[in-house]
Amino acid sequence: MEWKWSYGGTYEKSMRKIPTFIEKTVMIEKTAIQQSLLSEDDSWLMNQQGELYILDKNKDHEQSFNKREDTYHRMAEREMIGQIGMNPFSDNNYVHDVIAQDNFLKPISTSSEKEK
């Protein structure tokens, strides 16, 4: 006995629906009108059919509809730090570091002083 997901009839293939140019322009115009009616303060989402709808502000419904935009906002809120090799805990500047290097870190030849 063999199990199948059919009743034994032949399968009927349907034609692939290709949207025409007119359908595309109507959909573009429809979404353009919907977007123009929204203000920046409105919370809105777009469902899978391309229809926009406004979220109710009374509900605590926070759904992220654009992860990329959320990520950009989070990165913009970060504290800016210098992107060079510096010690953030050091109070010295470059000039003081060079002076300290000349005074203490370079070897000094003591043989020339003995000859004089």
What pLDDT is recorded for position 60? 46
What pLDDT is recorded for position 108? 75
What pLDDT is recorded for position 43? 58
Q: With a cut of 50, list the residues of the chain below it in pLDDT.
A: 60-62
C-beta neighbour count of 31 within 10 angstroms = 14
The answer to whether 52 and 34 are in contact (CB under 8 A) is yes
Say how far apart CA 3 and CA 20 lie, in whole Å: 41
What pLDDT is recorded for position 25? 83
Say how far apart CA 32 and CA 42 lie, in whole Å: 16
pTM (2 d.p.): 0.22
What pLDDT is recorded for position 9? 78
